[in-house]
Structure 1
Amino acid sequence: MKENEIFIDDWMRILIGNVPVIFFIEVIFRVLFVFLLLLFSMRMMGKRMSSQLSRNEMAAMSSLAAAIGIPIQSPDRGLLPAVIVAMIVILGQRIIAAFFTKSERFEEKSQGDIGVLIHEGTMNIKAMVSSRISRERLFAQLRKEGVKHLGQVGRFYFEADGTFTLINKTVPKPGLSVLPEEDEKFINRLHINADGQVCYNCGNDEIKASDSCPKCGKHKFVHPVSQK
């Protein structure tokens, strides 16, 4: 529209737009068609489209939404281009899925790889930096899983799809507390092992007679905690 055709008090244009009223009846058909097309497209791209989406599935879904949403709003746009776009996205998604089944390396490069954030009660700082997971985010996720200290954790994985998997230790040992330091009342419910030391930065309990942690090189140590 030209600038001289826009008026701030033109409520008919703001609410209805520059389309005939009959178009709103047509919109009902267009919305139903697009809705069914999305359902069909998601069904053709596999079950994962109805659960958590991977990177390429999210890109496919965004492409579908951007392309086939236009015919709903534009009376001068036909429905056939939306069908063509949907078919292209579905075909591309199926080709990529076929590559995934044949090449683990291709899947790893496109989807990312699993990261071991905690190994036997010790945080893997390099994996955390690579995955862009902060100490606070890691501890918050552990608390969500019911973990109170790192001595309870055998493995903590950061999956390629962005989810976390916890494997508890069969026999827990004293470890670095993951509880907020401000919650002293709750921390006092745990047993503090005054005879031991763990690295405050990574939770490593294999502390030798040196000024730094052999795992991360930091110099701050605290007493580990365990369940009473």
Structure 2
Amino acid sequence: MQPEEIHLYDAWRIFIGQVPGAFLIEAVIRAVFVFTVLITSMRLLGKRMAGQLSRNEMIAMTSLAAATGVPIQAPDRGLLPALIIAIIVVMLGRLISRWACRSERFESLSQDKLGTLVQDSVLQLPELSRTSITRERLFAHLRSEGLTHLGQVKRVYFEAGGFFTLIRNEFARPGLTLIPTWDTEFIAEQGVSADVQVCARCGNTRTAERCSNCHATEWQNAITGEEIK
């Protein structure tokens, strides 16, 4: 449009656009058609599309959205290309799912693999680096689960779908605090061990001057989890 064609009082252009009024009826037909295509596509892609999306499922969803958005609004675009794209996306999605079920190696390549972020109350720093998960983000998640120190954690897995799975220790042991260091009053309420020290970087129990897990040299007293009355 030319600048002189734009007027703030032009309600028809603002709400209807530069199309005949009859296109509103056509837009309803297009929307119903595209909605049916999307429902059918998601049904064919499987139940996972209604839950936590994997990387490939997110790509499929984005492709469907890009293919079907324009035909609803553009009168000069046909519906057949959107249908063809939806068919291709569904076929590729189902094909990748079948290959992933048959080959663990292909599943790891297409979906990524599970990572262990915490093992026996100790942070696995190389895995944190590989998955681009910061200590702060992991600690925030563990705090949201009601935990106060790593001694309560048996395992934390970072699933291929991008979410955490937490397995708690049956019996908590002294561990690295999950509470921000500036909240000293709350840390003191949790009980601080006078005998056990843990690595301030990864939570490994001290057995030498240098941490055997991450080679750090900074230590702090472990949290026992026994609240002081």
TM-score above 0.5, yes or no: yes
Give the C-alpha shift of residue 32 in structure 1.
1.4
In 2, distance between residues paired with 1:5 and 1:77?
A: 27
- In structure 2, the residue matched to 1:220 is 218
The Cα offsets for residues 119-168 of structure 1, whole Å up to 9 and x where unpaired, read as 10100000000010101001001111121111111111111101111111
Give the equivalent residue in structure 2 for 1:30: 30
2:207 counterpart residue number: 208
TM superposition shift of 1:221: 0.2
Measured in 1, the distance between the counterparts of 2:17 and 2:36 equals 26
For residues 173 and 197 of structure 1, the distance between their equivalents in structure 2, rounded to whole angstroms, comes to 12
Matching residue of 1:90:
90
Structure 1 pair 4/149, CA: closer, same or farther in 2 (3 Å)? closer
Q: Structure 1 residues 135-144 or 28-37, which shifts more?
A: 28-37
Match in the other structure for 1:181: 181
Task: Return the offset for 1:4.
Answer: 6.0
TM-score relative to the length of structure 1: 0.94
Of 78-87 and 101-110, the range deviating more from structure 2: 78-87
Q: 1:60 is paired with a residue of what secondary structure?
A: helix
Correspondence for 2:155: 155
The secondary structure found in structure 1 opposite 2:31 is helix
The 3-state SS of whatever aligns with 1:194 is strand
1:27-66 residue pairs with structure 2 within 5 A? 27-66=27-66
Partners of 2:199 and 2:5 in 1: how far apart? 66
Following superposition, the deviation at residue 54 of structure 1 comes to: 0.6
Q: Give the CA deviation at 1:8.
A: 4.5
SS at match of 1:223: strand
Consecutive unaligned residues in structure 2, runs of 5 or more: none
RMSD of the alignment, in Å? Answer: 1.4
Tell me which amino acid in the other structure corresponds to 2:79: L
The within-5 A match list for 1:184-199 is 184-199=184-199
Q: Structure 1: which 4+ aligned runs deviate by more than 3 Å?
A: 3-6
Return the alpha-carbon distance in structure 2 between the equivalents of residues 31 and 94 of structure 1: 25
Q: For 2:137 and 2:146, how far apart are their aligned partners in 1?
A: 14
Structure 1, unaligned runs of 5 or more = none
Quick one: which amino acid aligns to residue 29 of structure 2?
Answer: F
Structure 1: distance between partners of 2:35 and 2:134? 40
Amino acid at match of 2:221: H
1:80 aligns to 2:74 (yes or no): no
